[in-house]
Structure 1
Amino acid sequence: MQLNITVYSKSACPQCESAKMLLKSRSLGFEEIKIDDETERLAFYERCGPSVRQMPQIFINDQRVGGLSGLQAALVQLGK
């Protein structure tokens, strides 16, 4: 099964770096989209849902899995 992974991140974000390192360590390709502008980031959070207020936000096959802990749980569930 091909995974289409998108990581929405911001600069100087330790959790963002950890998520990207986790994906790289498992040889999983991903697209990174940095949102460093505060206004753009707040608009992105609004589109994701009322509980979203942090980066990274990770999507696998267009489904939001959340941040780093959500990514870890999704990879376990997918057997990756």
Structure 2
Amino acid sequence: MGEWKEVLLWCWIVNYGVLLLWFVVLTAFRERLYNLHGRWFPLSRESFDQMHYMSMAIYKVIVIVFFLVPWIVLEFVIR
């Protein structure tokens, strides 16, 4: 079970890294990303921001539920 704890912890760390990278790229290159996506989809700036904010929130919840919570449970079970 110790291996599972390590795998879950690393999955959580990597996924939070992805989330942080997503935030940094979106913050630094928001206008470029909006223009790029605007070529493909008719989006207002508000809907573009809302789409990314909601996607980040959903991603964060999924990462917590599927990686962090099981890791915490295994921490308590193994002790």
More strand per residue: 1 or 2?
Answer: 1
More helix per residue: 1 or 2?
Answer: 2
Pick the TM interval, shorter chain.
0.3 to 0.5
TM-score calculated relative to the size of structure 1? 0.33
TM-score calculated relative to the size of structure 2? 0.34
Please identify the structure whose Cα radius of gyration is greater. Answer: 2
